[in-house]
Amino acid sequence: MSAQELLDREFGTVAELIGEHARAQPRSPALIDSAQVMDYAGLDTWMDRVAVALARDGVKQGDTVAICALSSVEYGAVFLGALRAGVSVAPLAPSSTPDSLAAMAADCGAKLLFLDDGVARAIEPVRASVKARWVALDGKAPHALALLSWLAPEGSRPEPIEVAPDDAFNVIYSSGTTGTPKGIVQPHKMRWQHVRRGADSGYAPDSVTMVSTPLYSNTTLVSFFPSLALGAAVVLMPKFDARKFLELSEKHRATHAMLVPVQYQRLMDMPDFDRFDLKSYRMKFCTSAPFSAALKKQVLDRWPGGLVEYYGMTEGGGTCVLQAHKHPDKLHTVGRPAPGHDIRLIDDAGKVVPAGEVGEVVGRSPAMMSGYHNQPDKQRDAEWYDEHGNRFIRTGDVGRFDADGFLTLLDRKKDMIISGGFNIYPSDLEAVLVQHPDVAEAAVVGVPSVQWGETPVAFVVSKAGTSVSAEAIKAWFNERIGKTQRLHAVELTQSLPRSAIGKVLKRELRDVYLRSDDAARSA
């Protein structure tokens, strides 16, 4: 059966598609990193050897293994090999604390933990609490069996298995900004939907996709798996570096990239960005964090190829899509619901709000998580059901649809500030702050106020070479907005704390301010 015939089916698997590419284009590159290139025939062989080794070690279909390492060819091959065995994968963030890594490995019931030397050394203090057997992807990690020694012999072939649509594909741990890891179980049918829509994004055997965000992030995986499932080459960067990204894009004639807004900003800020030959690009994507209209316009003006912003959640539900190159007048929005996706806005009572009004975004689609692993209470909190009993996922975001059906996000529901009875959306204030000629970035949080209940405080990163004061920024800002939105304080900072995929960690900013405020009162 050809790859196209597989794609025409209602359900199939990524592993099957890679097997077809191995037969149709065995010498085409599949995975590329700084050390090696693995073609589709080689990847298919590795997947077989991984699948046989898992079965040999008693890891059965439906079990889980964990991977915690920087991106590499070996990482990708092990992930895909596990899928061929019907084993789900929990990709874990190397930046997590040792205790958190041990807890996540235990929560998902990982039989094996694939890691690299850096991660092995970091979690050495909690080694006794990690029950999973360690396998070193780079062959260096102490107390771990080297991957090449663990693999089944060349020529090994696994027993065929049948994967059901609802079988677990992976478990992604997403703490958002709450600090409490939740294991999001994504089924094979969810990933299959991502693969099937990949053809609309132009992924094909002649494509080259740059992957510079970590493989534990759903942001990465929604590009990584469709690229390989459709026969493209994937260039893996273990860590993002703006200059290196541009050099690799030029070298490999990259056609696609998934980047988060902070990466786009760093690329646009490169003094010699325009000297790089990026004409091979067909499409660029963005998701995971607020993407300003001004930055979208810069990318459109200076970087060849289309620009698509996706708005959605790791949990799935509904997705909005903004084809920025086709709708330059809608750059302030996140686009319209994707075909077959049902996006609604609800009020605090769970009722759908009238057209044009503000509400929490909830979504339903063919691509939805099975649930939160071992956390049924949090799963129930994340769900909303309409009058027909249809299940939706709550996003926690607040937005408004315009007359053309484009969604404008106002803020995270939990980040909304209620001051003196008025609703204040931090994103509105941040949009004004970055218009100041000396402000590079800004984030606004609500802090407790005896007088108002809550009051807004801004954290500001000033542009290089400027010496503006916090009081000057506050005065400039408060002259330009309504009385109810005025800032209580401005705090200058060298940088804003961010997650690995660029989300500003507002909880940390709020905690910093409250600690400093407590210190000032006790001084």
User: Do 49 and 192 reside in the same domain of the chain?
Assistant: yes
Shared-domain flag, residues 50 and 191: yes
> Are 178 and 48 within one domain?
yes
pLDDT at 176 over 60: no
* 117 shares a domain with 17: yes
User: Do residues 389 and 427 both lie within one domain?
Assistant: no
Tens of pLDDT, residues 214-249: 999 999 999 999 999 999 999 999 999 999 999 999
Asked if residue 383 and residue 429 are part of one domain, the reply reads: no
Cβ-contact 367, 321 below 8 angstroms: no
- 79 vs 393: CA distance, rounded Å: 27
In this predicted structure, the answer to whether residue 199 has a pLDDT above a threshold of 50 is: yes
Is 239 within the bounds of a domain?
A: no
Number of domains making up the chain: 3
What angle separates helix 14-24 from helix 188-198, to the nearest 10 degrees? 40
The model's confidence at residue 178, banded by pLDDT at 50, 70 and 90, is: very low
Residues 182 and 126 in one domain: yes
Give the confidence band of 521 by pLDDT, cuts at 50, 70, 90. Answer: very low
List the beta bridge partners of residue 23. none
How many helical (H) and strand (E) elements, i.e. helices and strands, does the chain have? 16, 27
Query: Do 71 and 203 lie in a common domain?
Result: yes
Global pTM reads 0.85
End-of-domain residue from the set 185, 207, 229: 207
Q: Say yes or no: 424 and 402 in one domain.
A: no
- Give the percent of the chain with pLDDT over 70: 98
Is residue 426 in some structural domain? yes
User: What CATH number is attached to the domain comprising 450?
Assistant: 3.30.300.30
Task: Give the percent of the chain with pLDDT over 90.
Answer: 79
If one counts every other C-beta atom within 10 angstroms of the C-beta of residue 522, the result is 6
Inside any domain, residue 437: yes
Does 523 score more than 70 pLDDT?
Answer: no
Is residue 430 in a domain?
yes
Residues contacting 253, CB < 8 A, separation 6+? 208, 280
- Asked whether residue 377 falls in the same domain as residue 427, the answer is no
Q: What is the pLDDT of residue 520?
A: 53
Highest mean pLDDT among 179-183, 260-264, 295-299: 295-299
Q: Domain range spanning residue 483?
A: 416-522
The domain boundary residue, chosen from 170, 185, 207? 207
Residue finishing a domain among 148, 179, 207: 207
Q: What is the DSSP letter of 158?
A: P
Residue 319 located in a structural domain: no
pLDDT bin (cut points 50, 70, 90) of residue 518 is: low
Same domain, 469 and 345: no
Q: Where are the beta strands (DSSP E) in 402-492?
A: 407-412, 417-419, 422-424, 439-449, 453-462, 489-492
Encode pLDDT of 4-58 as tens digits: 899 999 999 999 999 999 999 999 999 999 999 999 999 999 999 999 999 999 9
Same domain, 191 and 75: yes
Per-residue model confidence (pLDDT) at position 175: 56
Q: Answer yes or no: is 336 within a domain.
A: no
CATH code at position 351: 2.30.38.10
Contact yes or no for 432/460 (Cβ under 8 A): no
Within a domain: 96: yes
Rounded-to-integer distance, Cα 495 and Cα 498, Å: 9
